[in-house]
Amino acid sequence: MMCREFRDLHPAFLDDTLSAHAIVEMQLHLTECVRCSRYDTAIRRGLLVLRNLPAVEPSADFLDRLNQKLVAARELDARAEVFRGPGVGSFLATAASVVVVGFLAAMVFDVAKPARDLRLPPVVAVRPPMAPSAPPAGVNSAFVASASMGLPVWPAAMMAEQAQEHFAAEELGR
Ligand SMILES: [Zn+2]
């Protein structure tokens, strides 16, 4: 038996609730191990002292006073609970933010999915000259640039880039 096992079983050993086999093993370990033997003696002495302490006699009205204090503490807790509870405003704000986060997550996953399939060749994506001619249909140069660099394409960033592109194109008189 290891010391750790002895210490784990020691309370049951003291309470005499171990199996006969375990008790024999514990006693065997006590004869073999000085440290556990000392431990056992210390615990037994402590228990002996504890059991021989004079019993504490509560005063006659102890139970009444204890109950009064418990009731008072419970009332205080209940009042604090009402006070601390979230207001309707903060509750609605929390609910709204949860909805917004969920909506954004849905948007990200919906929009990001096709982007993942868009495996573009690792061509150095030089921004095409802002010629008055239209870029290839359906392909946005800013989007190609960010996708080919392997950067995560966030829908918001994509939209921002596209917006800039449109503004620039409009300024150039496309
Ligand atoms: Zn031991």
Sign (positive or negative) of CA dihedral 6, 8, 9, 15: positive
pTM: 0.35
Is the pLDDT at 111 greater than 70? The verdict is no
The total of other beta-carbon atoms located within 10 Å of residue 59's CB is 8
On average, the pLDDT of the chain sits at 77
Measured CA to CA, the distance from residue 165 to residue 82 in angstroms comes to 54
Which pLDDT band holds residue 100 (cuts at 50, 70, 90)? Answer: confident
- Determine the distance separating the centroid of ligand 1 and the alpha carbon of 36, expressed in angstroms: 4
Give residues with Cβ within 8 angstroms of 111, minimum separation 6.
155, 158
Closest among 168, 171, 147, 149 to 158, alpha carbons compared: 147
| Residues 129-153: tens digit of each pLDDT | 676 655 556 555 555 555 555 555 5
- Determine the distance separating the centroid of ligand 1 and the alpha carbon of 43, expressed in angstroms: 14
Q: What pLDDT score was predicted for residue 173?
A: 60
8 A C-beta contact, residue 3 and residue 36: yes
Judged by DSSP in three states, 121 sits in coil
8 A C-beta contact, residue 133 and residue 152: no
Q: What pLDDT score was predicted for residue 67?
A: 94
- Determine the distance separating the centroid of ligand 1 and the alpha carbon of 2, expressed in angstroms: 6
- Determine the distance separating the centroid of ligand 1 and the alpha carbon of 37, expressed in angstroms: 7
Measured CA to CA, the distance from residue 165 to residue 130 in angstroms comes to 10
- Determine the distance separating the centroid of ligand 1 and the alpha carbon of 30, expressed in angstroms: 7
Judged by DSSP in three states, 112 sits in helix
| Residues 57-96: tens digit of each pLDDT | 888 889 999 999 999 999 998 888 776 666 777 777 877 8
- Determine the distance separating the centroid of ligand 1 and the alpha carbon of 14, expressed in angstroms: 16
- Determine the distance separating the centroid of ligand 1 and the alpha carbon of 35, expressed in angstroms: 6
